[in-house]
């Protein structure tokens, strides 16, 4: 199999951080991984030197013709959500999509694909500041406003800035498996995995003392997923009332205690399904699900497919 060619798009008034996320993930050589790592290139959406945030000037080595060869196209946040991208760029995107190229967008980069007309009927996300505008302007697109990233198959979209790293790590995990993704995350000194459905932002801050207690509680639950956790037992462990725990849990994680625990158990199951041939009965036990029926139902609800279909992506059987 040919090593995938990743092409990052550069344009005038470029979002430096989001562009740098793609450069950091895909341009560095990573011999320690022991895999055929992605090839990487940068192409300019328009001629001339390109200004980027922070007073930086970018001179891209390739033109839009590079999109004709790309296996994966990265689109950082677009410079102005009210500005239609150049017609030549939109035409190149439509052709790349038609031949099966994949796309990853960060923040307002999703507006470029929307203007190209390739998102009808798809579920996508963007920065919460732009979600309403995207949904109103393109009613045929389903906008999941409260998500870090959304995988719609050929298109993976993410919220603002740092969520782009989560999305790109998710892509590495999907292409190369959990072990390689964890090694890349370790080199970046960031958490190896955040679920795409996690809330983009927390509406109110959690007090420092309660934050510390909740962090310790979450870590404890992660290493004890098999225990029969309830709001009552969790509240007792951190010396909070059940009502306070539920409120603070939602503010801290974006989920109720029950939903967060389900998603953590699904995440553990995903790791087991991706990295081993552990029997399904052991997977559900190690991840803390009480029955196979519950495991299958919750896994499908969170991931969108069955555990066995998910495993086939990595082992083919």
pLDDT tens figures, 48-60: 889 999 999 999 9
Residue 10 has pLDDT above 90, yes or no: yes
Q: What is the pLDDT of residue 202?
A: 41
Q: What is the pLDDT of residue 100?
A: 96
Q: DSSP readout, 248-280?
A: HHHHHHSS-HHHHHHHHHHHHHHHHHHH----H
Eight-state DSSP code of residue 204 = S
The mean pLDDT value for 190-203 works out to: 54
pLDDT band at 91 (very low <50, low <70, confident <90, very high): very high
Residue 146 has pLDDT above 70, yes or no: yes
Residue 120, both tokens? 């009808």
pLDDT band at 293 (very low <50, low <70, confident <90, very high): very high
Q: Between 291 and 96, name the one with better pLDDT.
A: 96
CATH 3.40.50.880 for domain 5-188: yes
The CATH class of the 204-317 domain is: mainly alpha
pLDDT band at 69 (very low <50, low <70, confident <90, very high): very high
* CA angle (10, 12, 14) in 5-degree steps: 60
Residues of the chain with pLDDT > 70, as a percent, come to 91
Q: Between 185 and 16, name the one with better pLDDT.
A: 16
pTM over 0.75: no
pLDDT band at 145 (very low <50, low <70, confident <90, very high): confident
Residue 195, both tokens? 């679920």
Residue 211 has pLDDT above 60, yes or no: no
The mean pLDDT value for 291-306 works out to: 88
Q: What is the spatial distance between Cα 192 and Cα 181, in angstroms, rounded to a whole number?
A: 7
Q: What is the spatial distance between Cα 286 and Cα 230, in angstroms, rounded to a whole number?
A: 18
Helix ranges restricted to H, the chain: 16-26, 87-98, 110-116, 131-137, 162-176, 178-188, 208-223, 231-237, 242-253, 257-275, 280-286, 292-303, 307-315
Q: What is the pLDDT of residue 280?
A: 87
- CB under 8 Å to 103, separation ≥6 — which residues? 72, 73, 74, 75, 93, 96, 97, 113, 154, 155, 156
3-state secondary structure of 73: strand
pLDDT band at 290 (very low <50, low <70, confident <90, very high): confident
The answer to whether the Cα torsion of 312, 262, 285, 192 is positive or negative is positive
Q: Between 92 and 178, name the one with better pLDDT.
A: 92
pLDDT band at 134 (very low <50, low <70, confident <90, very high): very high
pLDDT band at 251 (very low <50, low <70, confident <90, very high): confident
Residue 239 has pLDDT above 50, yes or no: yes
**Annotated domain spans of the chain:** 5-188, 204-317
Instruction: Tell me the sheet residues that pair with 188.
Output: none
Q: What is the spatial distance between Cα 293 and Cα 168, in angstroms, rounded to a whole number?
A: 32
Residue 178 has pLDDT above 80, yes or no: no
Average pLDDT over all residues of the chain: 87
- Report the run of H or E that residue 58 belongs to, with start and end: strand 56-58
Quote the radius of gyration of the chain (alpha carbons, Å): 21
């Amino acid at each position: 199999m040919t090593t995938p060619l990743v092409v990052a798009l550069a344009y005038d008034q470029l979002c430096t951080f989001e562009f740098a996320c793609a450069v950091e993930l895909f341009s560095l050589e990573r011999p320690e991984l022991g895999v055929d790592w992605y090839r990487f290139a940068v192409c300019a959406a328009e001629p001339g030197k390109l200004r980027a945030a922070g007073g930086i000037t970018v001179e891209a080595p390739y033109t839009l013709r590079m999109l004709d060869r790309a296996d994966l196209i990265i689109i950082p946040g677009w410079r102005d959500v009210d500005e239609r991208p150049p017609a030549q760029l939109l035409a190149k995107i439509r052709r790349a999509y038609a031949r099966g190229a994949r796309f990853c967008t960060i923040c307002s980069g999703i507006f470029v694909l929307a203007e190209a007309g390739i998102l009808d009927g798809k579920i996508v996300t963007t920065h919460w500041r732009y979600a309403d505008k995207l949904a109103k302007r393109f009613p045929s697109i389903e906008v999941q406003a409260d998500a870090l990233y959304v995988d719609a198959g050929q298109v993976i979209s993410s919220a603002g800035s740092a969520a782009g790293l989560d999305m790109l790590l998710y892509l590495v995990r999907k292409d190369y498996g959990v072990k390689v993704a964890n090694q890349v995350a370790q080199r970046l000194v960031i958490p190896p995995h955040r679920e795409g459905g996690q809330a983009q932002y927390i509406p109110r801050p959690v007090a420092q003392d309660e934050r510390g207690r909740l962090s310790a509680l979450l870590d404890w639950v992660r290493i004890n997923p098999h225990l029969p956790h309830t709001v009552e037992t969790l509240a007792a462990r951190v010396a909070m009332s059940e009502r306070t725990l539920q409120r603070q849990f939602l503010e801290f994680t974006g989920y109720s205690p029950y939903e967060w625990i389900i998603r953590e158990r699904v995440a553990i199951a995903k790791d087991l399904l991706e990295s081993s041939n552990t029997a399904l009965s052991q997977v559900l036990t190690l991840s803390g699900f009480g029955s196979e029926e519950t495991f299958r139902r919750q896994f499908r609800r969170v991931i969108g497919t069955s555990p066995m279909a998910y495993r086939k992506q990595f082992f083919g059987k």
